[in-house]
Amino acid sequence: MISTGQIQERRERVFLVLAGIFICAMTMLNILGITRFIQLGPLSLAIGVLPYPLTFLCTDLICELYGKARANFMVTLGLGLNFFILGVLYLGQLIPAVSPDAMPPWQVLQLAESVSLPNGSSVSGSVELYELIYATTTGAVFASMMAYIAAQYCDVQLFHFWKRVTKGKHLWIRNNFSTMLSQLVDSFMVVLVTFGAAFLAGDFTVRALIVLMFSNYAFKFIIAALDTGPLYLAVYQLRKYMHLQEGELAVPTPLNT
């Protein structure tokens, strides 16, 4: 016979794992960002997009198993970590570099020609590796923050809206409709904010923006459709593991809102 304490420990452990996956996927998005673009069939994608759909799966699982309050807490925590990432990047740029004679050879790149950056500026000649990373990463992190705020909170709100409309039935409706609509907001916003300056500077065409927006959303849409089966399986198995009845939330009563 399992004790109440063991059940509560299981519930907190599952939340920690889901929140950990969520934060890891979000951090990978910010670190990998636009450092490389890949071709998946007809889709042109920034490599940072690959782990991002996992964040919506984790959000939906926490919405279903823990409720709106826990989901909003996790999203807010992720927002705070985005600020932390930006702060560390800014601090690294602010602190002076070591003297040239103490600098490892890979820290300075010699560019054969001028290179345009996503923020609309360009660099040429000798440039520090970190300066290049900072210039390409900070804009992408800021863009992901803006898209993150809109999309993740939108996902939580829509999930619970569809849950009320369907009276707690048809998990596939709230999973797909909340994720697909919120990812539409995310996909268009993150591309516009990341490459808006480069577009205004004439380094990015309208066609390139549209291709990235469409590819971004199409990839997330396909993953959202494919994760319906795993979501049902995860909800079923986790309810058994955490000893939850249908409709019961894995949080203490005061948070069951």
Mean pLDDT of 119-125: 71
Give the 3-state secondary structure of residue 33. coil
Mean pLDDT of 249-257: 63
- DSSP character for 193? H
- Please give the Cα distance from 141 to 153 (Å, whole number): 18
Half-sphere exposure of 152 (CA within 13 A, CB side): 28
Token digits of residue 136: 């390409």
pLDDT digits (tens, 9 = 90+) for 49-100: 888 888 888 988 998 899 888 988 988 888 888 888 888 888 988 888 888 7
241 pLDDT tier (thresholds 50, 70, 90): very high
Mean pLDDT of 127-138: 77
Percent of the chain, pLDDT > 70?
90
DSSP H helical ranges for the chain = 4-32, 53-66, 68-94, 129-165, 171-200, 206-226, 228-241
The C-alpha angle 229, 232, 235, rounded to 5 degrees, equals 145
Q: Measuring CA to CA, which residue among 150, 142, 134 is closest to residue 188?
A: 150
pLDDT digits (tens, 9 = 90+) for 32-49: 777 788 888 888 888 888
Q: Measuring CA to CA, which residue among 60, 62, 78, 61 is closest to residue 70?
A: 62
253 pLDDT tier (thresholds 50, 70, 90): low
257 pLDDT tier (thresholds 50, 70, 90): very low
Q: Give the residue, 94 or 119, on which the prediction is more confident.
A: 94
Q: Which pTM value belongs to this model?
A: 0.77
Mean pLDDT of 12-34: 87
